[in-house]
Structures are given as C-alpha cells and as structure tokens.
Amino acid sequence: MIIRLVFFFALTYLTTLAQKPGQKGKGHPEANEYLKPEDRLYTFTDSSGHYGFKNYDGNIIIKPLYRQVRNFMGDYAAVMNDKFAWGMINKKGTLILPMKYCFLRSPTEGLICFAEKYGTNGQPLIGYMDIKGNMKITPNYSVGFEFLDGIAAVENQNGKLGYITKEGKIAVEFIFDDLLPLSEGGATVWIGLKKGEVDRKGKVIIEPK
C-alpha cells in the first residue's frame, strides 16, 4: 500500500513539473510527450508559482492561472485553481469541465478519473466520466489510475487493488495489496510482500512470489 500511495500522490505532484522542449516521451501512449516536440504544450510557472502552458517556441498559449496542472492527454488537461478545485481545459485554455472536483486526471481512452467528494477514510471517492461530464463508472473506489488497453487499476473500499474495464466490470479480481500504474510494459504488483508482474491487459504473467 505504501508504494502504491507514494506513486499515486507522486504522479499527482510530478505532472506539475515543466517538461523541457525535446524531452523524450515516456509512460502512457496518449501523453503529450509522445507528440512531436513542436506539437506539444509545455508547462511553465510565473513569479507567483502559478502554472500555464507554452508552445515549443516559448510563446504563452495558456496563461499561468493555475495552482497545479497535469500534462495534456490528447487535447485535454486537468487543472487546479487557488481554491484547490479541479477542472478540465482544452489546448486553447477553454474550460471544458467546471472547477468543482476534488480530484481529476487528464482523460485516457475517453474516460476521466474524477472525484467530487471524499470518503470516510479521507481519500477521494473515485469514479470515471466522459469528457462531457457524463458518469460512466460510479465513484466507489479509493484510488484510480488511467485506462490503458481498456482497463484501469483501482482500489476498492476494502483496500484491495484490481483492474476494471471501461464498462466498470471487474477485469482482474481485487487481490493485490499494491501495484504500480500500467505502462507500455505492464505493471508490477504485490500480494503482501510477494512481487509479480501483469501485462497490459492485467493478466498475471509472473505470479507474486
């Protein structure tokens, strides 16, 4: 659980860091970093510490209005205002989803990981919606990651992790105590202190041992 929570909150923080023009892409295939350098938007901060986005030539495309931002996934990025509320903008800086969420990720495979309120355990109640804000998966989870190849890792209310489909069905049972987010190479998972590996479909390819 410690490893997974560290990655969950580290990923939340690290997406605010400015990516340098020409930096090599890494991670989710929909990420901004996989575009040609001249087609990307890059985060920057002003003197007050607020984030905005510049293009490859250094021109400001989106003014530094935000306390925190996530990198663009496709045409959209999650942003947080000074009231710690999250919303969604497009590459013109237009607000697509209102600033009302307590947790929000940039969309992957058409779905957005979000939370509008916190659960009794103090963690966001995580669900998934589409880019128009239509609910697709009811907020029943304590932790949620991006979709990749039609599945996403989530933690249930009992503290166990598994994988769900874009329809909210269980793809891999909630048997893991820890895991890392899915990437092109799959993910590392733990049952207790036993470490294993799953592929991009969530199928166990190395049994935890």
pLDDT digits (tens, 9 = 90+) for 68-126: 999 999 999 999 999 999 999 999 999 999 999 999 999 999 999 999 999 887 889 99
Task: Tell whether the model's pLDDT for residue 207 goes beyond 60.
Answer: yes
| Number of domains the chain is built from | 1
Q: What is the span of the domain harbouring residue 40?
A: 2-206
Q: What is the CA 140 to chain-centroid distance, rounded?
A: 17
Residue 1's identity, in one-letter code, is M
Residue 19: the pLDDT is: 41
At 47 the pLDDT is 97
pLDDT (tens digit, 9 = 90+) per residue, 22-74?
333 346 777 777 788 899 999 999 999 999 999 999 999 999 999 999 999 99
pLDDT given at position 137: 98
The pLDDT value given to residue 202: 80
pLDDT number for residue 182? 79
* Pairwise pLDDT comparison (66 vs 207), residue with the higher score: 66
**pLDDT at residue 88, as a whole number:** 98
pLDDT average, residue stretch 123-132? 95
| Predicted local confidence at residue 122, as pLDDT | 83
Indicate whether 11 pLDDT > 70: no
pLDDT in tens, 146-188: 998 899 999 998 999 999 999 999 988 899 999 887 777 788 9
CATH number for the domain harbouring residue 68: 2.120.10
Q: How far apart are CA 172 and CA 159, in angstroms?
A: 15
Distance, CA of 80 to CA of 60 (rounded, Å): 18
Q: For residue 14, is pLDDT > 90?
A: no
